[in-house]
Structures are given as structure tokens and as C-alpha cells.
Amino acid sequence: MKRALLGAALALGALYPLRTDGTRDAPAVEELHDMIQALQANTFAEISRLRERCEDGC
């Protein structure tokens, strides 16, 4: 899970050059940005669920 978060963070960082140099149009970059943020949010939620389950007894 932590690797997934790292990958998402790296992917978000890779979007900025695409936005600034015009390789992709702004709506396409925003769509990718939103998808990556959703993946991050889902991963954080899953990590939280796993931690709660372990606190209750793994």
C-alpha cells in the first residue's frame, strides 16, 4: 500500500511538466490529476481500514 502511495505521488509530480510545456491540454491533465488523487484517497482509506482491523486484533 505504501508503494502505491509513492507511485501516485510520483505520477502527480510527472504531470506538472506536461501541464507547463503544453504536451497535454489542460482538461486532460486535470482529468489525470483527479484520477490519481482519487487513487491516493482510496489507498489512504484502505490503509486506515487495515490499521483499524489490526488494532482490533490481527
Mean pLDDT of 21-40: 91
| CB 55 within 8 Å of CB 49 | no
d(CA 24, CA 33): 12
Share of the chain above pLDDT 90, in %: 59
For residue 58, name the pLDDT band (cuts at 50, 70, 90).
Answer: low
Helix axes 2-21, 26-55, angle to 10 degrees: 170
Question: What pLDDT score does 2 carry?
Answer: 83
The DSSP call for residue 57 is T
